[in-house]
């Protein structure tokens, strides 16, 4: 199951070419990823995970006239300490604007080093992944 969050396109998101700046796509994806973590791992503090990879394929220009977009996130793989996510940005009419592979690593807040996922985290993530099948 993909977890979604609708996001307003703001005037400040635009660049000199009057389309959403490519860097803003990362922000939209982060908002969708936050929605995912809120639903799948509600007990986890957001600082318990760190982004280690973000690979975006831009598929469509976004403009202010699009008004709103939908960022979605779903689990691809669950590793020992990492989670591979597939993320998308679509217009509200469902046109694909970008797709992304993201890797997030569980982090020990005291040492700042990677840590193994807990059994509870792994179970929740696998349930979310299996709901996609």
DSSP letters along 7-41, please?
EEPPGGGB-TTSBB-HHHHHHHHHHHHHHHHHHH-
pLDDT per position as a tens digit, 38-79: 999 988 766 689 999 999 999 999 999 999 999 999 999 999
Measured between alpha carbons, how far is 113 from 56 in angstroms, rounded to an integer? Answer: 26
Give 20's pLDDT tier (boundaries 50, 70, 90). Answer: very high
Contacts of 30 (CB under 8 A, 6+ apart): none
pTM of the model: 0.92
Q: Which domains does the chain have, with CATH numbers?
A: 3-131 (3.10.129.10)
Provide the token pair at 40. 């799948």
**So what's the pLDDT on residue 109?**
87
**So what's the pLDDT on residue 133?**
47
């Amino acid at each position: 199951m993909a977890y979604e969050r609708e996001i307003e396109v703001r005037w400040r998101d635009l660049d000199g070419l009057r389309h959403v700046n490519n860097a803003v796509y990362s922000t939209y994806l982060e908002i969708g990823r936050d929605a995912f973590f809120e639903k799948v791992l509600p007990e986890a503090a957001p600082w318990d995970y760190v982004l280690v990879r973000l690979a975006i394929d831009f598929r469509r220009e976004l403009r202010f006239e699009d008004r709103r977009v939908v960022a979605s996130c779903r689990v691809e793989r669950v590793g020992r300490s990492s989670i591979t996510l597939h993320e998308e940005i679509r217009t509200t009419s469902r046109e694909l604007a970008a797709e992304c592979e993201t890797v997030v690593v569980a982090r020990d807040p005291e040492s700042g080093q990677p840590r193994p996922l807990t059994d509870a985290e792994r179970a929740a993530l696998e349930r979310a992944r299996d709901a996609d099948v």
